[in-house]
A and B are shown apart, each in its own frame.
Chain A
């Protein structure tokens, strides 16, 4: 997770539906080490048992970071998978969105 030369980048994280109450707001601006991946970001966000429980299938710290099936993560409006999945490296200025799978209509 440590980026080269200690350089930092800023990533905007937006929360929707139940994740707003869970993370205490609509969005956060995070200064991250360059090279931080989506999985690394989620690991940082999972800073309490309750939050880890909401994000990961296995909430234990250090366990494989398989995401909850009802959690949708998008980077700049595109599905995480189109950026290579949780291993996707984030870039300065990226917007990451956390929302639940939901239907209606």
Chain B
């Protein structure tokens, strides 16, 4: 038997749930050279199998999970996996990344990627070990929440040989369009509804266990990049201590200072300081935080393990809340009650709901209710006025189980608002709810939401918040129409690289591509110069775009909800809106920067330059 390549195993596992069959397939090393791993590799394997015209909740949908050549090393934060699927929330590509240890242990089963097709006739779970894949009945697991599922599938295992579990909760089983998939109990592939796709395939969980190791081609070269990365992470205040001390919710007050913190379904960004202090990262650290923690191999430690005590009830502990959760379940719903937000966060974690889309959908429902479009007889008697913290936990449970009003919310804000006759009240792009940064406060972020391949996601669309902070200090003013397209293209590409390497966004606060280039080249022995990596980033972006176009998306979908064009907010004394004209100008320039045509289509010339083979989409 030939030795495996360096950094990867040269094989992926294909599971056909309809046929009840699992098969190892060779992975062409050229795919690693061109798509790296993680997001890039998963996107390529997905596009080679996908039918963009098919129903995302039908058996034709394909789920691909991939890891990178760095997964299996000790590179900081490098245990992450990436999942690609056709999103039932948006109708475009679903592309989601997660920390936790599952990606690392999956790699140790001896595969670089996992392709899941078809639909099992009955609920199943997969048990993956090196050389063996069992498709097991999951009837007894169906209905369990994520902690119970994890407990059941890891019970009795020795600590040193502990398997890791990736799975869905009731929300995924019930096809909630923003259901997530979780590992390590609370690290999630959150956005775009991957949990619903798993549920539609009757797939409850994937347990992995293994000790297969990759070979490293040039340990010295790898170590030079590793040492540099670690040194820089210890220098930068964000990675050195701020995220550990304050968690991501340390941003609450800071984002408010720059006028970007949404309020009442993005109606404005006006808050009282004393209200925000009740939900700030400092307050979390002072009141409910038990300990900070990091994902596997992460020295940053932004996770919040918290405990809530409520009168007359047993104490509860869990993970969170993080910044997005705090704001979208909090001020965006007019709520400043840390206990209510945290408790609802726990329910979302357990039941498998993406907290961003859940919060965005609840805020939309509250605005519809206040407008008289969601009368009490459709809300199970719940008073959905903004500020009513008491409804959050109830709505999370109802949504995950699709009970009563929860059945409406489970469809996401776009379908909810359309059903109530006010589609303009869904604060979403391509049907994905907008994260907790108001696009009127940074045109760069606005363009990121507009052009993100997966809908309004700050992680796929580009995270422009650091630009908002730095402003002109880095010569990229946040309100520059001219500079936003190239700035957001660069930030999106950085994200593509990090997702394809299987590393955390937060490393970007300490360093850019150089240490990664050295580590990746050292591990694989392949040429991953920064220029080669940039070429791969552009190739992956073009491929994602090709899927979206084939799925029916057009340039008209690269737009913000009308509120952000029509209703200005005041920042530093200036009214700011992202007018339709501004959106058009930035969109056109962005397409040009990407090398796409005026309709946002990657040209044949670009594909040729990037050596991007256009996918031959699978026909129904």
Contacts and interface: CB of A to CB of B under 8 A. Distances in A.
B322 interface: yes
A85 to B, nearest CB: 8
A105 B322 contact: yes
A100 interface: yes
A14 B273 CA distance: 12
A105 B242 contact: no
The A interface is mostly helix, strand or loop, or mixed, namely mixed
A16 B469 contact: no
Contacts of A70: 236-238
A80 B508 CA distance: 23
Nearest to A74: B257
B569 to A, nearest CB: 12
B473 A80 contact: yes
Contacts of A14: 257
A97 B465 CA distance: 17
Interface stretch (B101-109, B208-216, B248-256, B600-608): B248-256
Interface residues of A, number: 23
Given A76-B573, A104-B249, A104-B302, A82 B471 contact: yes
Interface residues of B, number: 45
12 contacts: A16-B257, A17-B242, A18-B241, A70-B237, A77-B572, A80-B471, A80-B473, A99-B469, A103-B463, A104-B247, A104-B302, A105-B324
Contacts of A103: 238, 251, 463, 465-466, 505-506, 508-509
Interface in A59-105: 70, 72, 74, 76-82, 97, 99-105
Contacts of B465: 103, 105
Contacts of B257: 14, 16, 74, 77, 97, 99
A77 B258 contact: yes
B455 to A, nearest CB: 15
Contacts of A82: 471-472, 477, 572
Contacts of A20: 282
B523 interface: no
B436 interface: yes
Contacts of B509: 101-103
Given A70-B238, A76-B572, A104 B250 contact: yes
Nearest to B257: A97
B463 A105 contact: yes
Contacts of A78: 471, 571-573
B617 interface: no
A104 B241 CA distance: 13
B246 A17 contact: yes
Contact of B238 (A79, A80, A97, A102): A102
Given A97-B257, A100-B242, A104-B243, A79 B463 contact: no
